[in-house]
Structure 1
Amino acid sequence: MADEKILIVEDERILALGLKKKLQKLGFNVTHTVSSGEDAVKSVKENKPDLILMDIVLQGELDGIDAAKMIINMHNIPIIYLTAYADDETIERAVKTYPYGYLMKPYKERELKANIEMALKKFQAEKESFMDFEDVYVDITSFIDQKDEVINHVLLKHYGVIGPLDVDISSEKIYVSAERSNKKAYTVFYELLNKLMSRYLKSEFEIVVYSKGDNICLEFPKM
């Protein structure tokens, strides 16, 4: 795990330096430390770390959770939160960003090491499980049973406009798209495609998957 780049986001300089030394002692590669949410967003864009240790309470307009939301929407990077607070409201906000860990200060070396290693392994496993839509699924043909109402339930109730996917229904077709950089949307898109591929095998309808800019798109005829 020594090759992965770790970014520390901590506004207490002494704590940041102490954490950096502790991680280096454990064999991790800490490439940058920043003290604000704004600097975290900038550093991720410029340096592309493999994992972020994000303090939740930061000075400035962006706290750690707000900064994490921005980073997750633009980049696919695992984040572990660091905090001295564990109130219900903070935890609820943090959970909505799908973190890979949540560590309470002060940190024990064993907990730090275990959380970082598990986060990196989990993230790598998730990446390997994703299909490469550009290379493998540029033009996929499958079938949908037009009499089965489950597809409407899947698309419109669980994965509709209010969810992580964008859904557009015209007079003839249904279009679904997801940003590849949005991990949640990408995962749901993959799940939806699997459901379509596995459930609807007796119809003349065609499903097409293709890339459009930063999005993966799925289209098929309207029922």
Structure 2
Amino acid sequence: MTNILLTGSSRGIGAAIAKALDLPDVALVGHGTTSGIPADFSDPAAPQALWQSALDRLDGRIDVLINNAGVFDANPLDRPHDEWVAEWERTMRINLTASAELCRLAVAHWQQRHAPGRIVNIASRAAYRGDSPAHWHYAASKAGMVAMTKSIARGYAAEGILAFAICPGFTMTGMGEDYLASRGGDKLLADIPLGRVAQPEEVATAAKFLALEAPPSMTGGVIDVNGASYVR
């Protein structure tokens, strides 16, 4: 049995990942307001409390951590300075710091058990391509997630601790639909050679592969799911 903790499992990509991992040999604990353990990642105490609650539900063992929870709120440059900084810090705490804390707890857990483990971080195309002028904070948080993933992969591969990232482009979640409409819809789609945004199930397929099947030599790898709208 593979025990998995998935953050942000209530909707969109997270819900699709939870569905893809609904398998007889997987025990999954979700985090979210409607589909798992509630935890507000803007609260610095939340990640550690979530980790402990998940451990309790999974009989003291977590084998895979999937960090999917995140926010994507606009932060226009012309906001009052204090408000702009507050939104920057909130986004960093939710998108990056909470994920970092969970990664740290996971690595320590596997080291203490002398056991292998896997981390799958859901980042974004914005980590490489950047984002709109109102989303500096989002792009920076996802770039940090990719760099963190690579650092974990390099640092702990010899101990059987593997780390991967997925960088979706626009994905047809509620968040993605709102952004698509706000940016002009058809004009945005014209920038995607595939001609459409990704479906949550496509990202979930990649997450399932990395969580359960990817060969160890892939550690440190980043899978793009963006319809060729950004190629590296």
TM-score calculated relative to the size of structure 2: 0.40
Q: Which has the higher contact order (CA 8 A, sep 6+)?
A: 2
Larger radius of gyration: 1
More strand by share: 1
